[in-house]
Amino acid sequence: MARVPSGVEGFDELICGGVLPGQLVLLEGGPGTGKTLFGLRWAATAAAAGNKASVVHFEELVEGVLCNGKAIGLDLETLIASGQLVIDSTVTSDETVVLENYTFDALVMRITAAVETHGATLLVLDTLDSLYGQFSNATSVRSALNRVFNWLRAHGITTIVTGEIHERQPAQLDIAAYVADVVIRLDHRVSNDVTTRRLRIVKARGMSHGYNEYPFIIDERGIVMAPVTSIQLNNSVVQSYYTTGSEKLDAILGGKGLRRNSTVLISGGPGSGKTILGAMIASSSVLRQERVMVFSFEESPDEYVINTAAAGSALGEARHSNLCTIVSTRPTFWGIEKHLIEMSRAINDFAPEVVVIDPISSLKSAGSLEHVHHMLVRMIDFLKSRSISAVLVSAQSDDYLRTLDTDIASIVDTWIHLWMELKRDESTRRLRVIKARGQNHQEGSYDFSISDRGVEID
């Protein structure tokens, strides 16, 4: 079955590739939720794919629409110049006085002309609600819209309509919601000072779709959905292993080190050596000429390199030879979804074999525990789907069975915990492998020290 994709990154997958040709889609949401950009993206995608698309705008002048498109990287002018796209706007700056008794024949003519003259197969109407603001005779507006929708349906035109959500709107005005085959609701909300945008597919006739609320962001590259956890757990397991950089630790893990494409969690309190161990795993990877990407939330790239170099990490040289990239961001700089999206983009661009995130625990300042958990589940899923080995470092006090990590612990494949034991005047570093899926790991805890060769187990 043919589909009409929106072109919004990550959205079309939710509805199996796009809506069905000829369907009426309602994009609804409050002001600033991204309806207009979503609609423009849909039109531009159809036009760029060689179909003809028309946009009739009720709120912005054509120049404004072009400008909006530019802000998310859409070159609408080129599409217009090549005849793939037409944009009509009903906005006027003329002084207008509306009397009683009018019909919308001209509106119907314009919409049908926008489709027929141009030969469009996809039409975007943005926003019909402004008609209700301009013309007080709601019955007249509704009957005109009915005519328009019927005509579009009869002609098999895929139509994207945007609509405001009004708290107290009489239901009978909400015509599009009844007529629409697909209703997509966009919203944005603020919690803990961080704004999160979300999308939900309220209905979608004739196709299966996800029912959750899906986070997304809008930036200069358009509307981007955060990576969504795949519905099925079908990541394949690779039966090959890589070294942690310490033969003894490899032995404790069952003899072969870490399994490729698996997720290892390294937890520990402050100063326990968890960053050093993460960097050692990364460093041994670059020595095998594998690409490594480090996300550092507490140190700048230079700090990370210098601080781990003291423990023998080769990441500094690897940065110069472009085998390693270190990305540093303050956790509070973005909301949790934005972090996830930016990280997945960076990973897609750099294509590493190993990803280190240090520390995941500081993400708590970018969102609630629950959000962080969901985000990490999606991140792990994303990494596995791309056959990337993941090293997650987490600050963790010794009552580690209680907090964040225990949630994450159930989904990671390997969990190594580090801590310090104080005996009289001496402190001893200890390490224990709590789990290592599919591997015969040693149960005990081991003393270790940190030298210029990294983590050395006694």
Beta carbon of residue 162, minimum distance to another protein (angstroms, whole number): 17
Beta carbon of residue 141, minimum distance to another protein (angstroms, whole number): 9
Q: What is the DSSP letter of 228?
A: P
- Pair of tokens at residue 423: 């005996």
Instruction: Identify which of 25, 50, 44 has the alpha carbon closest to the alpha carbon of residue 86.
Output: 44
Cα 394 from Cα 308, distance rounded (Å)? 16
Cα 400 from Cα 186, distance rounded (Å)? 38
Measured from the Cβ of residue 77, the count of other Cβ atoms closer than 10 Å reads 13
Cα 108 from Cα 148, distance rounded (Å)? 6
Contacting range for another protein; rule: CB under 8 A; set: 9-17, 87-95, 197-205, 299-307: 87-95
Binding string, residues 88-127; x marks residues near another protein by CB under 8 A: xxxxx-xxxxxxxxxxxxxx-xx--xx--x----------
With CB under 8 A as the rule, give the number of residues binding another protein: 27
In sequence order, what are the beta bridge partners of 262? none
Residues 398-437 that bind another protein (CB under 8 A): none
What lies within 8 Å, CB to CB, of 122 at 6+ separation is: 4, 42, 43, 46, 51, 52, 53, 54, 157, 158, 159, 160
**Strands of the 454-457 sheet, one edge to the other:** 324-328, 292-296, 354-358, 389-395, 263-268, 414-423, 426-436, 445-451, 454-457
Contacting range for another protein; rule: CB under 8 A; set: 44-52, 128-136, 314-322, 408-416: 128-136
Beta carbon of residue 56, minimum distance to another protein (angstroms, whole number): 9
Please state whether beta strands 53-57 and 24-29 pair in parallel, antiparallel, or not at all (unpaired): unpaired
Q: Is 139 in the site for another protein (CB under 8 A)?
A: no
Binding string, residues 199-228; x marks residues near another protein by CB under 8 A: ------------------------------
Contacting range for another protein; rule: CB under 8 A; set: 72-80, 84-92, 180-188, 238-246: 84-92
Beta carbon of residue 191, minimum distance to another protein (angstroms, whole number): 41
Of 89 and 406, which has the nearer Cβ to another protein?
Answer: 89
Beta carbon of residue 24, minimum distance to another protein (angstroms, whole number): 21
Beta carbon of residue 114, minimum distance to another protein (angstroms, whole number): 8
Where on the chain is the footprint of another protein (CB under 8 A)? 88-92, 94-107, 109-110, 113-114, 117, 131, 134-135
